[in-house]
Amino acid sequence: MPASLDLSACHAPHWLPERHTQTLFGALVAPTNRLRFARARYDTPDGDFIDIDWALPSHSSQPRRSRESSLSHTAASRWLTPADQLQLCSTASPQALLLFHGLEGNSSSRYAQSIATYFRARGWIVAVAHFRGCSGFANRLARAYHSGDSADIGFILDTVRQQVPQGYWHAAGVSLGGNALLKYLGEHAAHIDWLIGAAAISAPLDLVAAGNHLSDNTFNREVYSRHFLRSLKPKVLEKARRYPGVIDVAKVNQARDLRDFDHAYTAPMHGFKDAIDYWTQSASKPWLKKIVVPTLVLNARNDPFLPEHTLAGPNDCSDAITLHQPAVGGHVGFVSGSWPGHLNWLPERLMRFFQSLPQTKT
């Protein structure tokens, strides 16, 4: 059977009349909380590390008011303690959510704050995983992260399950993180049956279409691509200083859009021929028919990152997938309410989907 298709509305405010205002206001302006996390660092098999920020439901295990100086530039207040870890392992059957951020996002991102705050307030354990180099600390290797990094998605999923073995685990990915999560779920369908449910928010399912649209459209290139490159390029140039001769510094410096950047760094560093090869191999859309975990795939039809005609249709998906494609919302915007708006619509939609699922583990 094909997937179900939900076209119900996200009611954007009248003062956010189109895709770009909905996207930019949601990312940069919309009010949100300043939830502070407890951070843990986990070493990867290849000698690198992943930082995960934990929001624990009990007040006693929340980060203290005074912040550790090493974390002052992050949304974490302290490092996870042995007592916290013991609580994670011993908590009986908690509801738990793992969140993967988008390109150059982190636990300070407005969408991460709104989702984590909403779920924690309802008694859930929330883990916000940082892709390599996105936690406020440079990762150890010349490589970074990318849209199809199934190995790191699997490592992170296994890690949080080990930390909270009794948890009823759910996973959500935003934009790049959503694409990587969907790809992993399709590739590893037979090994992920312990996951209760999943969600992908504004995932660029067709990476070739999304990458070209962000690079060729003048507004997208000058606003969105330029925004991402402001943090991506310095990170890679710093890596080049640590690993001389490994990165083509001239090509990175010359990159003017995401296609240039992925051609100069992301593709060659992670084993792809060029940007188009990277985008083609990393796209999640071809894997949607393989997914067996109940999964919400949420894309606004006016998302400026992904042309509407490239969105998934019911026949592109397995019957485990629920497609929700509201007419408006922008890219990870989904602002609602009267001025100055709020970001509650998205976590409410996620919670509604997760609560509709049978809460059974294998």
Tokens 């949100």 locate to 32
Instruction: Identify the three-state secondary structure at position 150.
Output: helix
What pLDDT, in 10s, does the model give residues 96-132?
999 999 999 999 999 999 999 999 999 999 999 999 9
- Number of C-beta neighbours around residue 24 at 10 A: 19
Task: Report domain extents, the chain.
Answer: 4-205+284-355, 207-282
Does residue 62 carry a pLDDT above 70? Answer: no
Of 69-83, 214-228, 312-326, which range is least confident? Answer: 69-83
pTM as predicted: 0.96
C-alpha pair distances (Å), 50 with each of 99, 254, 316, 343: 13, 30, 33, 27
Q: What pLDDT score was predicted for residue 33? A: 86
Q: What distance in Å separates the CA atoms of residue 106 and residue 336, rounded to the nearest whole number? A: 23
Q: Which residues on neighbouring strands pair with residue 171, listed in sequence order? A: 98, 198
What integer pLDDT is reported at residue 54 of this predicted model? 97
Q: Is the pLDDT of residue 142 over 80?
A: yes
Judge contact between 106 and 136, C-beta under 8 A: yes
Using a pLDDT cut of 70, give the percent of the chain over it.
Answer: 96
CA distance 170 to 126: 10
Mean pLDDT of 137-161: 98
Q: Look at the chain and count its residues.
A: 362
Residue 86, pLDDT > 70, answer: yes
Average pLDDT over residues 32-44: 95
Q: What is the separation of C-alpha 76 from the centre of its chain, rounded to a whole number of angstroms? A: 18
pLDDT score recorded for residue 65: 47
Average pLDDT over residues 255-281: 98
Output the CATH code of domain 4-205+284-355. 3.40.50.1820
Mean pLDDT of all residues in 294-310: 97
Q: Would you state the pLDDT for residue 95?
A: 96
Dihedral angle of Cα 21, 27, 30, 35, to the nearest 10 degrees: 170
Confidence band, pLDDT 50/70/90 cuts, at residue 179: very high
Most confident of 60-64, 67-71, 150-154: 150-154
In this prediction, residue 61 carries a pLDDT of: 41
